[in-house]
A and B are shown apart, each in its own frame.
Chain A
Amino acid sequence: MKQEIKHGPSFASLFLDLEPGEKIRTEAGAMAGMSSNMKITTKVYGGFIRALIRKFLGGESVFQNTYTPDGEAGQLILSPSKPGEIRHVTLENGKPMILQASAFLAGSPDISMKTAYGGLKSMISGEGLFLLKMGGQGDLWFNAYGNITEIDVDGEYIVDTGHIVAFEDGLKFKVKKVGGLKSMLLSGEGFVMKFSGQGKLYIQSRTISSLLGWITPMLPS
């Protein structure tokens, strides 16, 4: 397999050249283009109920697709639904990665996906902080709205919940208020995630919820 992320960071798309027999699992609807010999199978991953929960809380689709070229090599072009950057990581056994639910783009067919709750507080925070735990061994591509910044946390670090894209499972986190009651109500920050430990954290430079918050008052009533 040959991979290339092109048109980034604003409009990153993933171009994969697959050999016969190689398989890639993708988020539903992510295919922009493909060779005519590419075969698609559609399946529910991680159990139907959990997939439904993912769909309603995380905005991730219930179904995922697996693509494989038939007979000869083939190309697959994947594009996220929102404009922004794509990152690739190689997952290793015992070193899972946590993704914000709508960040999953594609991965090796054998990586596992489990839903993980960001805690009750994150639900209340309205950021849709619903997390996926990606485990196993293989490739993982995730995407964001805006640019992705990689932060090496060693100690403690605080991030607005809406800006979380992914983090290594070794990091612990707590969802908390940004300050006192006054800051909570007036700072425009709401809930934040406080990370502790050591590991990589990926954050996005923009959030969909801010875009929605800006556009909603402008809609005609």
Chain B
Amino acid sequence: MKIEIQNRPAYAIADVHLELGESVISEGGAMVSMTTDITVTTSTMSTGGGAGGLLKGLKRMLTGESFFLNKFTSSTGGHVSFAPTLIGDVEHITLDGTTNLVVQSSSFMACSEGLSMDTQFGGMKSLFAGESLFWIQFSGSGELLLNSFGGIFCKEIDGSFIVDTGHIVAFEDTLEYKIKKVGGLKATLLSGEGLVTEFYGKGRLFMQTHNASAFGGLLGPKLPPRQR
């Protein structure tokens, strides 16, 4: 598998070149174009085998990701390109089996077949942080494509660092985290920051420059009300 990312960072699109018989798995709706040798199967698959495809599909739905995933398999060697929904960057991360990566659910775009994917509960406090309650944990070795709203940058943490939860794309599971108040009661209620995530330990944190819910919050009140 060979991956090329073009038009970074604003309009990133990833071309995944597959060898004969190789497969790539993506989030529903991410495919832009592909060669004609590719066959697509849609299922609740759990990558990397394992039972409970349906259960995994249901859990994935809780994360706000799609229930179904698409698997693109090349019969002769070909390529598939994928693009995110929002404007922003795509990051290619290779997992070597030693460190697992925890991904904020809407940041997942595609991965190679060998990776295993599992849903993690972020804890009750993450609910109050106004962000997704669930994370997707990737383990095993293989390729992973993540997308962001805005640019992606990597923060090497050694010690501790605080982030606004909406700016988290992914982090290595060598990092521990807790959800905490940004400051005193007044700052927590009125600063517009509220609850934040504090990471500690040693590992990589991938952040996105922009927060999709903040942009949505800017546009939302100016749109006509949704009617039933």
Contacts and interface: CB of A to CB of B under 8 A. Distances in A.
Interface of A: 6-7, 10-13, 27-36, 38-42, 59, 61-63, 65, 77, 79-83, 208, 211-212, 215-216, 219-221
Nearest to B207: A33
Interface in B133-191: 149-151, 153, 155, 159-164, 167, 182-183, 186-187, 190-191
Interface string B188-221: 0011110010101000000101110011011100
A106 B222 CA distance: 24
Contact of A221 (B9, B164, B200, B227): B227
Contacts of A61: 192
Given A36-B200, A215-B219, 6 more contacts: A7-B153, A28-B190, A32-B163, A39-B183, A40-B187, A65-B192
Contact of A6 (B153, B161, B193, B198): B153
A40 B89 CA distance: 30
Contacts of A35: 160-162
Contacts, number: 126
A64 to B, nearest CB: 9
Contacts of A31: 164, 182, 193, 196
Enumerate the 4 nearest inter-chain pairs by beta-carbon distance, A residue then B residue, closest first: A29-B192, A28-B192, A7-B151, A11-B150
Given A11-B88, A41-B183, A81 B9 contact: no
A42 B183 contact: yes
A98 B214 CA distance: 25
Between B164, B167, B192, B227, the greatest number of chain A beta carbons within 10 A of the residue's beta carbon is seen for: B192
B61 to A, nearest CB: 22
B224 interface: yes
Contacts of A221: 227
Contact of A32 (B182, B211, B222, B224): B211
Nearest to B213: A81
Nearest to A84: B210
B187 to A, nearest CB: 4
Nearest to B86: A83
A90 B226 CA distance: 44
29 contacts: A7-B9, A7-B151, A10-B9, A11-B89, A11-B210, A13-B209, A28-B190, A29-B192, A29-B193, A31-B193, A33-B162, A33-B163, A34-B163, A35-B160, A35-B161, A36-B161, A38-B162, A59-B218, A63-B192, A79-B167, A80-B210, A81-B215, A83-B87, A83-B149, A208-B219, A211-B219, A212-B222, A215-B219, A216-B223
Contacts of A220: 226-227
Contacts of B34: none
A83 B153 contact: no
A220 B190 CA distance: 34
| Of A39, A42, A80, most B-chain CB atoms within 10 Å | A42
Given A33-B162, A35-B161, A83-B215, A42 B150 contact: no
A217 B183 CA distance: 42
Contacts of B153: 6-7
Given A42-B186, A65-B191, A81-B218, A36 B162 contact: yes
B10 interface: yes
Contacts of B226: 219-220
A11 B209 contact: yes
Contacts of A59: 218
B180 to A, nearest CB: 10
